[in-house]
Amino acid sequence: MEAKDKIKEYTIRNIINYRKLDWSISDDFLYLTDVPEIFEPFEMKPHYFAYGIINSGSIMIEVDYQNFLVDKRSLLIYRPEQNVKVITIEAGTKGMFVLFTKKFMDYLFESFFSIAPNSFLKNKFGSQVVLTEEDHSKMNTLFTRTLDFLIVSEADNERWIYSAKSILLALINESDFLVNRYIENRNSIHQPREEQIGYDFKKLVSKHYLTFRNIEFYAQELNITTNYLHKIVKSQFHQTPSEIINMALLSECKVRLSDPRDSISQIADHLEFTNIQSFSRYFKKQTGETPISFRTHHNLINP
């Protein structure tokens, strides 16, 4: 136990330095288009989330002192505060991974996208998922398109970071939907009903927040009363349902404003505000800035 107690927090910067990776964009986000041959031979406690797929070859990894042989068609996940040690990597192993800190996601998307109770990124889901051939193919497509976008993006550093946050969030959401059936198979029997309702509420919000911003819609979809929904959501997430819906909308506003190709009027239309004035009033009330000043302050438009 003495050796385990001495494990120090391991950061993405530690990985970059140890594996001699050419990466200077961010210390809170890193993507790997292949499995590096150099890896840490010691035990570490990550400061970040990591997940990805293996397309060929295999990795033997120890997570929380349990060994996993991660081979073709496997999804590997490990999280902050877990104890991780890579034991062996088979020569020629191919795969794709993303590594990111909670800070990286929270900075832009705030608490709405905090990890759901039975998401694949939660500890209780485990560290390895063996996907069907069809699901592995879909996951491979998701990773390939995500990383292709990040590779070819020519935005400057700050704009690139905003794009990376947006597309990483999309990858996480799509991955969660894809592996949801595996989560249900393992955990649904033991999942408290209220916890499941809270998770289902956030899934509904992620799909419908642009069109439905009233609590009644979500309560009706979940077949419960608005008071009961308020109680469950407040207990689990320390926010009201309205606050979560609003956070989703506000996050989308920021993402849209980070792209200078759309005018503010077009953004207002996309977000289903009645006009540009109502959009500007809403955004200023929430952030203290007008949409124009937000764009200017964050250098999200070209001179």
The CATH number assigned to the domain holding 255 equals 1.10.10.60
> CA 161, CA 141: separation in Å to the nearest integer?
22
pLDDT at 193: 75
pLDDT, tens digit, 9 for 90 and up, residues 120-153: 887 656 788 888 889 999 999 999 999 999 888 8
Same-domain check for residues 88 and 208? no
Which residue, of 124, 154, 188, is where some domain finishes?
Answer: 188
User: What's the rounded mean pLDDT across residues 170-176?
Assistant: 87
Residue with tokens 């020629």: 92
Q: Does 90 fall in a domain?
A: yes
Q: Does 303 fall in a domain?
A: no
> CA 166, CA 172: separation in Å to the nearest integer?
10
Report how many domains make up the chain: 2
Q: Does 235 fall in a domain?
A: yes
pLDDT at 264: 92
Q: Does 302 fall in a domain?
A: no
Mean pLDDT for the chain overall: 83
Backbone angles phi, psi at 225, to 5 degrees: -80, 160
> CA 77, CA 122: separation in Å to the nearest integer?
9
Same-domain check for residues 286 and 180? no
- Using the CB atoms, write b or e for 24-51: b if 16+ within 10 Å: eebbbbbbbeebeeebeeebbebbbbbb
Same-domain check for residues 174 and 147? yes
Local confidence band at 189 (pLDDT 50, 70, 90 cut-offs): very low
Same-domain check for residues 168 and 227? no
User: Under a CB-based contact definition with an 8 Å cutoff, are residues 198 and 236 in contact?
Assistant: yes
> CA 5, CA 85: separation in Å to the nearest integer?
15
**Res. 88: pLDDT tops 80:** yes
pLDDT at 139: 94
pLDDT, tens digit, 9 for 90 and up, residues 47-57: 999 999 999 98
- Which residues span the domain enclosing 111? 2-188
Which residue, of 188, 212, 238, is where some domain finishes?
Answer: 188
Same-domain check for residues 253 and 113? no
Same-domain check for residues 236 and 168? no
Same-domain check for residues 40 and 90? yes
Local confidence band at 186 (pLDDT 50, 70, 90 cut-offs): very low
pLDDT at 4: 42
pTM value? 0.61
Same-domain check for residues 51 and 154? yes
pLDDT, tens digit, 9 for 90 and up, residues 111-124: 444 455 567 887 65
